[in-house]
Amino acid sequence: MRVNRAVLVVVFAAVIVQTVAVGYAWRRGGAIDHFALASVDGGEFTRIASNWVDSFAYSQSPSAPYESDTWRTPGYPLFLAGVMTIAGSSPVVLVVAQQLVAVLSAWLFFVVARRRLGRTAATVASLLWILEPFRAYYSLWLLSLTWFVFVLLAGLWSWDRQGALDRPGRWAVLTGALVGFAVLVRPVAILLPPLVCIGAGWRARRLGVAAMCLAGTVAVLLPWVVRNRVVAGHWGLSHQGGAVLAYFKASEVLLWERGQRRARYDEAVVHEVWDALDASLHARLEADGVALSDDARSTLRWPNLAWGRVEGVNGFVVSDALCSVAWDALRRRPGATVVCGVARMVSILTFPLPLALSPPTTPAALPLTGSFGHERRALGRVLAGLLGAGYAGLVVVAMVRGVRVWRRGGRVGVLTLVVPVLALLVLTTPQMDPRFRVPMMPFLLLLALLPLPRDGAPRREEASRSAV
């Protein structure tokens, strides 16, 4: 009964918080789907899902003939398409469905946390995560974030099941499939599958377990990669990679090197850097034998490429050229690349503290401006500083706790939580956005509250395998 009561507390708290979040959207815009399509990404995801349901065409085209899309991976559109099939395609319906996923994720987090922390600490960790403001806020947007977190938690749950059994093979396949699906939801998770497969084999001391985990991953990813080969002539998950690396990563390093990091939200400054990258892109394409007309040059520029709109040239070819341009820029600036990358890792983990300590030059980018307005900048800055200090405190506590548990012999438990955070950090830096931290929060909270092993051996909770 005590376990059931804890579950009820967690689920009830999640329902309350998500209801408050929906009320916030209603107050800001007069509708619960006020933020649903606030991002360009949301419109792309919903168009793909709608076409998928209506015509079984994976495309962003507004009408037939449908052009196959290779910009967005199918993990999140698949979720939206499922909701549309059952309940309709209204943004309101999709936002409500996402609130249900957020509540389900809270329950799943408690299940995962209870095995590691025990009932009381798991309840505390779950409530802290439920109250995390950016998690609730972005559940109102039709972005892949909420669904991505749920898939990661499902993978962590499967990992625990795999480790609790003497014959972990089937669970290893499921774990591999879930981390593979996480990549289809957000390609930023691409480092997780190899790390998880290696970890599965190392933990079980059996190469066969790693192979079964890998088989699960390949079974999920390979059909999509083959599909892209068929429709676009290239192997790959998406042609996003080059645009992200050039326009949203290399450009950050270039601004950092120029001493313009506070101007990273100034469109005029950023677009000047992007224009220079476009010129390098055109030169790289011509060096690779791609003839560019004047029309092609005007089309193959950041206003289109940064959001996946490629015409006249294969998207994967453009992406490969952008990757080459970006890597060249980074290789010529090793110092700035490393310093900027590490600094931005800290910024991602402590956001919005960096904006409070060193406000950007663009007023609209000041912390919490959207909630308090430009006329209350001082209040927004103070509150952002306090909020960011809380995140910074969590990171410090998690680091200290991880070191202590590691020294007591709890290496597997620490690595299980640290590796996903580092894998996500490496591929998100040097971009600075609170969305990137949301998937890391469950792992940081679990690490911060991880119990110390007794007598040099990992602690095993009495009810670690009981059903919840």
Express each pLDDT in 340-363 by its tens digit: 999 999 999 999 999 888 888 777
- Region 259-273: mean pLDDT is 89
- Kindly state whether residues 120 and 167 are assigned to the same domain: no
Report the percent of the chain where pLDDT is more than 90: 77
Q: What is the pLDDT of residue 371?
A: 60
- Residue 461: which pLDDT band, with cuts at 50, 70 and 90? very low
Residue 398 host element (H or E)? helix 377-407
Q: What is the pLDDT of residue 362?
A: 77
In a domain? residue 340: no
- Kindly state whether residues 171 and 91 are assigned to the same domain: no
Q: Say yes or no to pLDDT of 463 above 80.
A: no
- Give the phi and the psi of residue 59 in degrees, each rounded to 5: -155, 150
For residue 377, give both structure tokens.
């900048």
CB 110 within 8 A of CB 123: yes
| SS3 at position 59 | strand
Count CB-CB contacts under 10 A for residue 346. Answer: 16
Express each pLDDT in 289-301 by its tens digit: 888 888 888 999 9
Express each pLDDT in 301-314 by its tens digit: 999 999 999 988 99
Report the percent of the chain where pLDDT is more than 70: 93
- Kindly state whether residues 16 and 137 are assigned to the same domain: yes
Of 184, 200, 235, the position where a domain reaches its end is 235
- Kindly state whether residues 125 and 26 are assigned to the same domain: yes
Average pLDDT, the chain: 91
Count CB-CB contacts under 10 A for residue 133. Answer: 11
Q: Which residues pair with 68 in a beta bridge?
A: 59
- Kindly state whether residues 3 and 139 are assigned to the same domain: yes
CA distance 172 to 178: 10
Of 209, 235, 261, the position where a domain reaches its end is 235
| SS3 at position 266 | coil
- Kindly state whether residues 276 and 179 are assigned to the same domain: no
Helix axes 377-407, 441-448, angle to 10 degrees: 60
Q: What is the pLDDT of residue 433?
A: 87
CA distance 87 to 169: 37
In a domain? residue 203: yes
In a domain? residue 22: yes
CA distance 375 to 6: 43
CA distance 312 to 325: 20
Express each pLDDT in 221-255 by its tens digit: 999 999 999 999 999 999 999 999 999 999 999 99
- Kindly state whether residues 138 and 158 are assigned to the same domain: no
Residue 245's identity, in one-letter code, is L
Q: What is the pLDDT of residue 157?
A: 96
Select from 224, 173, 149 the least CA-distant residue to 420. Answer: 149
Q: What is the pLDDT of residue 303?
A: 94
Q: What is the pLDDT of residue 468?
A: 35
Residue 152 CA, chain-centre distance (Å), reads: 10
In a domain? residue 205: yes
- Residue 372: which pLDDT band, with cuts at 50, 70 and 90? low
Q: Say yes or no to pLDDT of 143 above 80.
A: yes
In a domain? residue 339: no
Select from 263, 299, 261 the least CA-distant residue to 281. Answer: 299
CA distance 201 to 212: 9
Residue 418's identity, in one-letter code, is V
| SS3 at position 177 | helix
Q: How far is CA 197 from CA 135, 168, 380, 439, in A?
A: 28, 13, 44, 20
CA distance 300 to 440: 35
- Kindly state whether residues 258 and 192 are assigned to the same domain: no
Express each pLDDT in 153-169 by its tens digit: 999 999 998 876 666 77
| Residues sharing a CB contact under 8 Å with residue 237, sequence separation 6 or more, in sequence order | 73, 183, 184, 187, 190, 221, 224, 225, 228
Express each pLDDT in 115-127 by its tens digit: 999 999 999 999 9
- Kindly state whether residues 363 and 445 are assigned to the same domain: yes
DSSP 8-state secondary structure symbol assigned to residue 188: G
Residue 252's identity, in one-letter code, is E
Q: What is the pLDDT of residue 63?
A: 84
Q: What is the pLDDT of residue 462?
A: 34
- Kindly state whether residues 450 and 369 are assigned to the same domain: yes
In a domain? residue 191: yes
CA distance 70 to 66: 12
Express each pLDDT in 80-132 by its tens digit: 999 999 999 999 999 999 999 999 999 999 999 999 999 999 999 999 999 99
Of 219, 235, 251, the position where a domain reaches its end is 235
Express each pLDDT in 169-212 by its tens digit: 788 999 999 999 999 999 999 999 999 999 999 988 889 999 99
The 8 Å CB, 24+ separation contacts for 88-92 are 89/46, 89/49, 89/50, 89/53, 90/33, 91/33, 91/36, 91/37, 91/46, 91/142, 92/31, 92/32, 92/33, 92/36
- Kindly state whether residues 374 and 466 are assigned to the same domain: yes
Q: Which residues pair with 454 in a beta bridge?
A: 457
- Kindly state whether residues 173 and 187 are assigned to the same domain: yes
In a domain? residue 216: yes
For residue 271, give both structure tokens.
């677009």
Q: How far is CA 116 from CA 7, 49, 188, 460, in A?
A: 16, 37, 26, 8
For residue 199, give both structure tokens.
């970890």
Q: How far is CA 53 from CA 58, 74, 128, 223, 241, in A?
A: 9, 13, 37, 19, 27
Least confident of 187-196, 270-279, 419-428, 451-460: 451-460
Q: What is the pLDDT of residue 467?
A: 31
CA distance 243 to 301: 10
In a domain? residue 392: yes
- Give the phi and the psi of residue 405 in degrees, each rounded to 5: -65, -40
| Residues sharing a CB contact under 8 Å with residue 347, sequence separation 6 or more, in sequence order | 353, 354, 432
Looking at the structure of the chain, the number of domains it has is 4
For residue 278, give both structure tokens.
């476009």
Q: What is the pLDDT of residue 466?
A: 33
269 is in which domain, residue-wise? 241-332
For residue 431, give both structure tokens.
């971009």
